[in-house]
């Protein structure tokens, strides 16, 4: 079974619909020791197929539109943050303290892009904000000791593990018990009734749907950016005291609106938004939002028929379920960074933040399939994904990929999949969406705006 067919089956899709997907293979892109190209194409492919399936339902139930999965478009989108330009300026990348470091017995990777994470890392190590001082402090400690010390302080550091070491870890066992996309029916809410979509323009299967976006960084925002592409009114909500990185917000903010909301102080406003929401997407650690009444069951009780989509780094169960995590750190823990080792034997990385992007498209696919299922059988729905589970799926495909090291884009120009437009932020150059089906949209209806600049209300 191909990765596309396997992923589609896991989403509960009709197997025959896989024949509606037409790939355009470009073997040189996303070159890696792991099958990143095939994996990325499958993630985007099932998302586009789920969108096409819902589009067919909303236009009278005819044939599902043909889906095109072009490796060039996928590869460009999977490194969209690298292609972003704002008035010619490239987006900021990893901060100086977000990198691999040698330890007394191996390697550790830290993540300190956000000021609060950087402060916790430095406090745990007892060093000033100086790379040389950090390197000296880490060189005298074991990688596992650093991992535990920094984690206990609320920072982010993960020791490099081999695939075998990760396989023996209790968290890996917990992740292995999960499906790639977890799908749960929460109650017996009535079947969803869709209004017919307007056939006068691009086919927008999510038109008229309202999505509350409580996600940050890349994976969750990629999912909601995709739902916005498909016509949903996506309202991203952030707490006022936890700002997002500006370039990151721009890259993943296409098609959305962005507002600030205190879930405690503005509780009445949130409940008003929830009452009108069709989908709620969260990207915080498992249980972190439960105290605000934002667990899946609590949301479904107050808003019957809602689709709740949840994203985490390590999964909802296991000893690491409550830990913070990012794509780069999951690669390190799960053995991917060891498998992608550099020419001098040190740890490496995938040619894209493929766990983030891939998981984002899988989450969007899960939401779209849940909406289609609701039209048949009703019920509030939970869709859940985890970066570590996505990593396991990628690693399981080892041997099927190109297995050629290299930088993405070295043998294929991304120009056909880049475009420009004006925005309130300036002139933007950005990657076009890779989700492509017959009659569907080819770009977002609106450019991103400034973080938190919109009013917390539905259109």
Catalytic residue at 356? yes
The neighbour count for residue 415, using CB atoms within 10 Å, is: 9
- What is the spatial distance between Cα 135 and Cα 69, in angstroms, rounded to a whole number? 43
Report strand pairing: 279-282 vs 257-260. unpaired
**Least confident among 40-44, 153-157, 170-174, 339-343:** 339-343
The residue with tokens 């934002």 is 294
pLDDT of residue 383: 98
Residue 138 has pLDDT above 60, yes or no: yes
Pair of tokens at residue 403: 């297995």
Q: Which residue has the higher pLDDT, 291 or 274?
A: 274
Strand 107-110's sheet: what is its strand order?
A: 100-102, 107-110, 157-159
pLDDT in the model for residue 342 = 78
The pLDDT of residue 407 is: 42
Phi, psi angles (nearest 5°) of residue 102: -75, 140
Q: From CA 408, how far away is CA 171, in angstroms rounded? A: 31
SS3 of the chain: helix, strand, coil, percent, to 5: 40, 15, 45
> How confident is the model at residue 409, as a pLDDT?
43
Using CB atoms within 10 Å of the CB of residue 144, give its burial: 0 to 12 exposed, 13 to 18 middle, 19+ buried.
middle
Q: What does the radius of gyration of the chain's CA atoms come to, in whole angstroms?
A: 21
The pLDDT value given to residue 406: 40
Query: Which listed residue (233, 356, 373, 436) is catalytic?
Result: 356
Pairing of strands 307-312, 381-386: parallel
- Residue 28, number of CB atoms within 10 A of its CB: 17
Give pLDDT, residue 297. 95
Give the pLDDT confidence score for residue 169 in this predicted structure.
Answer: 97
Q: Which of 86-95, 153-162, 312-321, 402-411 has the lowest mean pLDDT?
A: 402-411
Burial 435-446 (b: 16+ CB within 10 A, else e): bbbeebbeebee
Q: Which DSSP string do the residues of 293-334 spell out, in sequence order?
A: T-SHHHHHHHSTTPEEEEEESS-SSSTTTTS---HHHHHHHT
- Cβ-proximal residues to 226 (8 Å cutoff; 6+ apart), any chain: 47, 360, 361, 364, 433, 435
Q: Say which DSSP state 186 is in.
A: -
DSSP 81-110: HHH-EETTEEPP-S-TTSSEEE-SSSEEEE
Q: For the chain, what is the mean pLDDT?
A: 93
Q: Check whether 377 has a pLDDT greater than 50.
A: yes
Q: What percent of the chain has pLDDT over 70?
A: 97
Does pLDDT of 139 surpass 80?
A: yes
What letter does residue 140 receive in the DSSP assignment?
T
Q: What does the angle CA 312 – CA 169 – CA 78 come to, to the nearest 5 degrees?
A: 40
In Å, how far from its chain's centre is CA 459?
25
Mean pLDDT of 210-236: 97
CA angle at 324 for the pair 155 and 134, rounded to the nearest 5°:
25
pLDDT of residue 399: 52
- Whether pLDDT at 403 is above 70: no
H-helix or E-strand spanning residue 164: helix 163-167
Q: For residues 425 and 450, is the Cβ–Cβ distance under 8 A? A: yes
> Which pLDDT tens digit goes with each residue over 419-431?
999 999 999 999 9
**How many Cα atoms within 13 Å fall on the side-chain side of residue 256?**
30
User: For residue 227, what pLDDT band results from cuts at 50, 70 and 90?
Assistant: very high
Rounded Cα distance between 306 and 294, Å, is: 12
Give ∠ CA 406-410-413 in degrees, rounded to 5: 150
Helical segments of 11-78, H only:
36-58, 71-78
Cβ atoms of 32 and 400 within 8 Å: the answer is: no
Of the candidates 251, 212, 215, 254, the one whose C-alpha atom is nearest the C-alpha of residue 233 is 212
How many C-beta atoms lie closer than 10 Å to residue 283's C-beta? Answer: 24
Mean pLDDT within 179-194: 96
């Amino acid at each position: 079974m191909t990765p596309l067919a396997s992923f589609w089956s896991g989403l509960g899709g009709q197997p025959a619909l896989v024949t509606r997907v037409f790939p355009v293979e470009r073997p040189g892109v996303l070159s890696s020791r792991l099958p990143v190209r095939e994996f990325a194409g499958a993630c985007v492919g099932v998302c586009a197929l789920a969108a096409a399936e819902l589009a067919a339902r909303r236009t009278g139930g005819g044939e599902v539109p043909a889906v095109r999965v072009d490796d060039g478009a996928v590869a460009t989108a999977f490194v969209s943050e690298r292609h972003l330009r704002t008035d010619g300026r490239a987006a900021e990348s990893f901060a100086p303290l977000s990198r691999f470091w040698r330890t007394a017995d191996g390697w550790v990777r830290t993540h300190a892009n956000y000021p609060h994470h950087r402060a916790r890392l430095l406090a745990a190590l007892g060093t000033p904000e100086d790379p040389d001082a950090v390197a000296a402090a880490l060189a005298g400690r074991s990688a596992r000791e650093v991992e535990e010390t920094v984690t206990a302080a609320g920072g982010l550091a993960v020791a490099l593990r081999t695939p075998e070491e990760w396989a023996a870890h209790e968290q890996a066992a917990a992740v292995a018990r999960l499906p790639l996309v977890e799908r749960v029916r929460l109650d017996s809410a009535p079947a969803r009734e869709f209004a017919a979509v307007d056939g006068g323009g691009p086919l927008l299967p999510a038109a008229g749907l309202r999505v509350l976006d409580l996600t940050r960084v890349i994976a969750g925002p990629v999912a909601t950016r995709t739902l916005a592409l498909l016509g949903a009114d996506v309202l991203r909500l952030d707490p006022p005291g936890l700002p997002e990185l500006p370039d990151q917000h721009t890259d993943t903010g296409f098609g959305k609106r962005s507002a600030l909301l205190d879930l405690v102080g503005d509780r009445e406003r949130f409940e008003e938004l929830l009452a009108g929401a069709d989908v709620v997407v969260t990207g915080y650690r498992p249980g972190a939002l439960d105290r605000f009444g934002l667990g899946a069951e609590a949301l479904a009780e107050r808003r019957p028929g809602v689709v709740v989509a949840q994203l985490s780094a390590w999964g909802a169960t296991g000893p690491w379920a409550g830990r913070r995590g990012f794509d780069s750190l999951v690669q390190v823990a799960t053995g991917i960074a060891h498998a992608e080792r550099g020419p001098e034997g040190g740890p490496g990385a995938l040619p894209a933040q493929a766990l983030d992007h891939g998981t984002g498209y899988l989450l969007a696919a899960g939401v779209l399939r849940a909406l289609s299922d609701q039209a048949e059988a009703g019920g509030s729905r939970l869709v859940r994904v985890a970066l570590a589970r996505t990593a396991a799926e990628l690693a399981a495909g080892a041997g099927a990929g190109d297995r050629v090291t290299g930088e993405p884009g070295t043998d294929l120009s991304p120009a056909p999949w880049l475009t420009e437009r004006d925005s309130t932020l300036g002139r933007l150059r950005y990657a076009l969406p890779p989700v492509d089906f017959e009659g569907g949209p080819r770009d977002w209806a609106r450019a991103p705006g400034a973080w938190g600049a919109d009013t917390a209300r539905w259109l």
